[in-house]
Amino acid sequence: MSNLLEQKLLEIFNALLKEFNIWRKGESQEEPLIINIHDKVVANDPTSAQGIMNRDNIGLTIYSAITDLMRNYDISRSLAVLTYHLVVSHPFIDGNKRTALGLLLNILYELFEDKMEIPQDLEDQLIRVLIEISDYPPEEDEDGINRIRNIIEDIIHGILF
Percent of the chain residues past pLDDT 70, beyond the cut: 99
Structure confidence at residue 160 (pLDDT): 74
Per residue in 76-104, pLDDT (tens digit) is 999 999 999 999 999 999 999 999 999 99
Per residue in 123-155, pLDDT (tens digit) is 999 999 999 999 999 999 999 999 999 999 999
- What average pLDDT score do residues 7-30 get? 96
Q: Residue 104 is which amino acid?
A: L
How high does pLDDT run on average in the chain? Answer: 94
CA distance to 10, 33, 78, 142, 152, per residue, from 148 (Å): 19, 22, 10, 10, 6
Q: Is 1 a residue whose pLDDT tops 60?
A: no
Q: Is 13 a residue whose pLDDT tops 90?
A: yes
> What's the pTM?
0.94
Domain count, the chain: 1
Per residue in 27-58, pLDDT (tens digit) is 999 999 999 999 999 998 888 888 899 999 99
Go through 46-84 and write b for each residue having 16 or more CB atoms within 10 A of its CB, e for each that does not.
eebeeeeeeeebbbebbbbbbebbeeeebbbbbbbbbbb
Structure confidence at residue 115 (pLDDT): 74
Q: Which domain holds residue 18?
A: 1-160
- Taking residue 146's Cβ as centre, other Cβ atoms within 10 Å add up to 14
Q: Is 120 a residue whose pLDDT tops 90?
A: yes
